[in-house]
Chain A
Amino acid sequence: MSIESLDGLAGRVCDSQPDGSCNLGFFRKAGESHVVSCGTDACLSIRSAAALDQKPVTHFFTKEAVHLTCLAVSPTGEYLATGDISCWIKAYKLPGLEFDRILTRTSLPMRALAFSPSGAMLACGGDDGNVKMVRFQDTKVCTTLVSGSYIRFMAYDPKHELMATCSADGSLRVWEIAAPEKKKMITLIRGAMPRMSGETSGRNPAAWEPHRGSFLAVAGPNNDVTLYERDTWKPCGVLKGAHKERVNAIAISSDGTHLASASCDRTLAVWNLKRHELMDSRRTNAILSDLAWEPDSPKLVGIGEEGTLYEWSEAIPRGLVERGGMIDDLAAAAGLSDDDGDRHQDTYNFDAGASPSNDKRPSTSPPRGSRDVLRECGLGDDSGGEDAGSLGDFIDNDMEPGNSGRGDAERAARGPTMVSPPRHRRAPYVPPAMQPQEAIQPGATPAGQESKRRWLAYHDRGGINSRVDDGGFNAVEVVLHDTSLSRRRPPLFNDFHRFEMAALGDKGPFYASRANSDTPSMLNFRHLESWAANADWTLALPDGEDAVAVAAGRSFCAVATSRDLLRLFSPAGLQMGVLTMEGGIVAMTARGHMLGLVWHSAPPQQQRQMLSAAIWDVTEQTQVSSGRLPLAPNATLTWLGFTDAGALAAYDSEGTMLVRTPDFGGMWVPVFATAQARAERESENEVYWPVSLTGEDLVVVVCSEAAPYPRVQPPPVLSTLPLRVPTVGTSGESNSNVRDPEEELIRVGMRLACLRSRQQQGEEDEADIETTEKLADAARVKLFSEAVRNNRLPRALDLASRMHTAWALEGALKLANHHKVPALADRVSALLQRLAYQLFRAFAQPATFDDSGRFPGAGDLSFTTAESLGFGASQDLPLESRPLLQNSRRTGVIAVKVGMTQEWDQWKVRIPLTILWIDDCQVVQQKTQQREGYTALQLGCGAKREKNVNIAQTGHCRAAGVPLKRKYAEFRVTEDALLPVGTHVGAAHFVPGQYLDITGTTIGKGFQGVMKRWGFSGQPASHGNSLAHRAAGSIGGGQDPGRVWKVHPMPGRMGNRRRTASCVWLYKVDPARNLLYVKGQVPGHKGNFLLVKDAILKKFEKQPPRPFPTFIGEAGDDIITAPTAAQDPYLQT
């Protein structure tokens, strides 16, 4: 650098101090503000604050010509204290900069100086970790605060009671210093600030509220400014959102209403301290190392690390200053925004690409109120001094080629653009338009952390880390969490492509590198295990195409490229597809055959990223689901993954985890909020870095705000955090350790929906769903119990009606009985009964016995009258919802005996079967208690031509509105089983597995002897017997009783009598053809009519649940067979 540059304010002269930091301070002399600055060039400069771009008023090289590290101006403006790299603390007189005295010397360089509010004391702190407090008058070191770490900043409380010291390790200490002998550390907040290494000279700035010191503003660990309340030392405000890197300088305006912060990402922001909100921000070319407000003025001056001064003459809008900062921004702007609304867009476009020519305003629009310029008063403005105009002018001319005396090299070094476009007047603060977010790789940590190692991918299965090696390559290591997954340990390899992205698939890791000028973007897949030697493959993407995200599943690898293409490969390297995406891919994740994708479906609107998400089945080449991914305003996607149920989950920068549920056509449910988890864990600075999701927990690596990413060494440890859907707490128990069952119910319901939708694709097995259903019902039983305890019966019944398993309903029934709520118990048992029948309907198979040999739900119906259910009389209910009670008696049917056949069941056991045909059986007449004195139904069956029916019967049928029937029969029923006249009763009235009583007329055999008729043995064929071979023999006693007993079996007419076969097992039901297949024989000829009823001898609970009062609706075509033996009956055990 040439020597002219030393005429600049504080230019860098020594290239051996690349991280030089510069400092500045204001002082007032003769009513005019001056700025004094120092830097690495060992030079102190004083400029008039009103003309910063002019030559310095005073320019002074220190004698030793060493790097000045810090500077402080005494409150009176009389003295200046400096600290330099050779550890001297010196005082100079202002404004002439005459050397006054040496204040002290330290062992290591000082990094911060601070005058006490009265100016009597000077505090010096630096690399030795001590704060020396020197009395200015006699340079006596009054006291030393041992702070223990590299001190990077100090701030005197305006009341001179406290002092805050900030260390490079991120800790903030506040000392009581009212009396030197009573110094005491009041508080120590570790991690209050970002941690940095002791070698760098970056700052951890702090500033007190200037009037009373009611709070302390420090650079927070999360790229923010944190405000700590005095005395409690609790954060009372966080100013965040403007910076992307740590805050390097803070200044509070002298009226205490505004705070300016400058960050390492080269942004400068002004905040309103009353409302804790961002007012405006600017971008600078250099990192600002110090900031200062001109006293009682809206002017902000900053100094860059390379020595450039930046001036922002109206950092606080003028109106706000005049009116004491009380006016709302918007109100102030409302009256002004009449003419240049179209300019706002340009106004906030601070992109590096904005060229100076764009900044030229049209000449028709004269500059008005134009002091609001962020100006850069760079090196060597001396030659351009005459045309540098008044402060009211824009200094665009500063950038015009040839206008200044600067050389080309200097201009090149300074960067291509001017920082600020012109602005007419202050408009309401509009946040800069949101950019579409960059692609992310889930589970990757960013490069350039303190260590050279980073995670390329970290999943629940394993991780891939990469270490930057000096030899021009990276060392990449694959770590499997479960070492038994791979027989051999994946070898460490040297990566000459410098892979930037990786994903660990089931078959092996998949890597991608970015293109640079020499090499294209490379893809690489390595098998964990392979039967062949050369299974791994490497591919180069075409020129101009760059990989942005990768994913690897069981059967595929996917790479998204900068041309919005999605390329799919098989693990063997076969190209399976090249697809064009709607927008740039943001993230991809894989699980099994599933690929989850998130892409930009539109440019961001209203501060929201417009993202779409989809799940594809790559082997089937189908889309499983797709839809919008709604992120909160200003949030970006930071992680994407699958839950263990196969739902897509997304984590955003606001700390919310969203999981997609197939319900409502695919919606996203918030299942986790970082803020809540922090509150529950009582740790405010934790950052959760998600790794995977189970049904109940989020598996994370817990990091701190200072280091928000897991490190490679020591290996990260996973923790589980409970998922919590933000339900409204109803139970009244605010105990956060106990999970709200209602919340659990929603979560399990989500999981169930997800499993069910996957089951439809044939992915999930039944057992998983059953377990989940049980979980849901367990939660319902919990809630049920709570509701019953609190006597909230409708809520309890609502819960019971949603239970899916008989097991849960039985539990509910027990609870209801236990709490002695019979009304509820009866309703629950009715539900139970209905459920058992629903199960039969839903799965078209009869209910099976449980372990105790009973049908589920059939055993607990202890009540016997319909009224006891509390429904009122059962006959008042609609037919569909009447419960089958223990003493209910359903109607029977009239059937025609068709004949016999046989079938073999699954164990090849022959079952002889009789087929019964229910031929158009209909209710013809109801007999009621009121009219007939008993309740019964008359049913008719078959059909008869009218000419064959007598008038009386015709009239009977006509009155009932049913067709003429061939055969009529009456069945006694209970009142609740009465059916309306005309109801068809078909084969579906009966349930396979149930037992029937079948009544009919047996086949007539004519006059038969006792051997056939009664089964007598007959008499011997020989031994003198004659003519009495089939005779009965004795039929009675002798004189006593002197007669034959009345019931004595004798020869006579056999058969042709009404007989009932009881408890005949119903094997099969064919509802379409109205056929019943019963096991064994039934009375009568083929073609005879039979009366078929529920078996009266079978116990209620031994019968499966049956439709009551009859089957209503369409029965369908399914032939339903009773379950047979669970085990092979022929199996020899």
Chain B
Amino acid sequence: MAATQALFSSYELEFFAEDETISIVPNFTLPGCSDNTLECIGGAYGPFLPNRPVDVPLWMAMALHQRKKCRILPPAWMDIESLKMVEELERDRSDAFQPLPFHYLEIAHMLFTHAKDTFGGNFYKVHDLVESVRKVRMTKIHSGLKSLAGPMTVKLNNLSAMECNLMRGLFQGALDRFWKLAQLQAAPDAGEFETQATSSPPSGPRRQFRT
């Protein structure tokens, strides 16, 4: 019923992710600007000095990178060692997700598609690791969903935007369905259920569910 109403497209999510900050190493100065900083609507970024790392939003990093004006530094979590550790921990601990940036998939996707040279020779390793982390998490989500039966409290910490988005539709639909089934139990009269099912949104008490 409400399966599609709050879903974002992956492009929209990528757009949101562009506000995340990332370190770049500029290779230019801004002689006209005071203190080599850029005054934007969202705030001042800089100072941009050659070979000094500076934190900027991803969109700016991408724009500068496209003009060959900077080198993007891979974020700390995209280090091979830490990715390996995350992957290992993800595999080991089936009950929890590892803390990764909320937009980790979007950031990774953007860097992989538009700024491959960020990773130098490690591109494929990092790419594979991120991919496998994603898969492991996805598997965990799926297996978690399988075990989801009936009204219960589901705890999903550290879920990223993309993964939330993926599950949102399913969860909404499923929870609605559960609610209806519970209604059915409460009122065994099938005819009443039918009339309730068609009326949306349900106005009955929702105390059984805490999502």
Contact = CB atoms under 8 A, between A and B. Distances in A.
Interface of A: 460, 480-484, 699, 713-715, 717-720
A482 B53 contact: no
Given A482-B27, A482-B29, A718 B120 contact: no
Given A714-B120, A715-B71, A717-B73, A483 B28 contact: yes
A701 to B, nearest CB: 10
A484 to B, nearest CB: 6
A728 to B, nearest CB: 32
A481 B71 contact: no
A482 B52 contact: no
A1078 B101 CA distance: 76
Contact of B52 (A480, A483, A484, A720): A720
Contacts of B68: 483
B25 A717 contact: yes
Contacts of A482: 27-29, 50-51
Given A714-B120, A717-B73, 14 more contacts: A481-B27, A481-B51, A482-B27, A482-B28, A482-B50, A483-B68, A483-B69, A484-B27, A484-B29, A713-B120, A713-B121, A717-B53, A718-B52, A718-B53
A484 B120 contact: no
> What 5 A-B pairs come out closest when comparing CB atoms?
A481-B50, A481-B51, A482-B50, A483-B27, A718-B51
A481 B50 CA distance: 5
Chain B contact residues, majority secondary structure:
loop
Interface string B8-47: 0000000000000000010111000000000000000000
Contacts of A460: 51
A717 B51 contact: yes
A483 B29 CA distance: 9
Given A714-B120, A715-B71, A717-B73, A484 B28 contact: yes
Contacts of A714: 120
B71 to A, nearest CB: 7
Contacts of A720: 52
A480 B50 CA distance: 9
Nearest to A715: B71
Contacts of A715: 25, 71
A714 to B, nearest CB: 5
A699 B49 CA distance: 12
A480 B53 CA distance: 15
Nearest to A714: B120
Contacts of B50: 480-482
A993 to B, nearest CB: 34
Contacts of B69: 483
Interface centre among A483, A713, A720 (most CB of B within 10 A): A483
A719 B53 contact: yes
B23 to A, nearest CB: 8
A699 B50 CA distance: 12
Interface string B102-134: 000000000000000000110000000000000
Contacts, number: 33
Contacts of A717: 25, 51, 53, 73
A171 to B, nearest CB: 12
Contacts of B53: 717-719
Nearest to B25: A717
A771 B69 CA distance: 31
Contacts of A480: 27, 50
A178 B162 CA distance: 47
Contacts of A719: 53
A481 B70 CA distance: 10
15 contacts: A460-B51, A481-B27, A481-B51, A482-B28, A483-B27, A483-B68, A483-B69, A484-B28, A484-B29, A699-B52, A713-B121, A714-B120, A717-B53, A718-B51, A718-B52
Interface centre among B27, B28, B73 (most CB of A within 10 A): B27
Interface centre among A480, A481, A483, A699 (most CB of B within 10 A): A481
A571 B27 CA distance: 26
Contacts of B25: 715, 717
B64 to A, nearest CB: 12
A719 B23 CA distance: 12
Nearest to A717: B53
A718 B25 CA distance: 9
A484 B26 CA distance: 11
A960 to B, nearest CB: 63
Interface string B158-197: 0000000000000000000000000000000000000000
Nearest to B52: A718
A714 B52 CA distance: 15
Contacts of B120: 713-714
A596 to B, nearest CB: 22
A356 B69 CA distance: 64
A715 B68 CA distance: 15
B32 to A, nearest CB: 13
A460 B121 CA distance: 26
Contacts of A481: 27, 50-51
Nearest to B122: A714
A189 to B, nearest CB: 15
Interface string B66-95: 001101010000000000000000000000
Nearest to B51: A481
A720 B49 CA distance: 12
Nearest to B53: A717
A460 B120 CA distance: 23
Nearest to A720: B52
A252 B71 CA distance: 50
A718 B23 CA distance: 12
A699 B51 CA distance: 10
A481 B68 CA distance: 12
B87 to A, nearest CB: 15
Contacts of B28: 482-484
Nearest to A460: B51
A480 B27 CA distance: 8
A73 B71 CA distance: 56
A481 B71 CA distance: 11
Nearest to A463: B51
B25 to A, nearest CB: 6
A699 B53 CA distance: 12
A719 B120 CA distance: 21
A350 to B, nearest CB: 42
B199 to A, nearest CB: 60
Nearest to A461: B50
Contacts of B27: 480-484
Nearest to B23: A717
A659 B12 CA distance: 54
A713 B28 CA distance: 20
Nearest to A190: B81
Nearest to B81: A190
Nearest to B29: A482
A751 to B, nearest CB: 19
Nearest to B27: A483
A715 B51 CA distance: 10
Interface centre among B27, B51, B53, B73 (most CB of A within 10 A): B51
Nearest to B71: A715
Contacts of A713: 120-121
B80 to A, nearest CB: 12
A715 B53 CA distance: 12
A807 to B, nearest CB: 20
B84 to A, nearest CB: 11
A45 to B, nearest CB: 44
Nearest to A483: B27
Nearest to A485: B50
A60 B25 CA distance: 62
B27 to A, nearest CB: 5
A717 B71 CA distance: 10
A715 B69 CA distance: 15
A190 to B, nearest CB: 9
B69 to A, nearest CB: 8
A717 B28 CA distance: 15
Contacts of B52: 699, 718, 720
A809 to B, nearest CB: 27
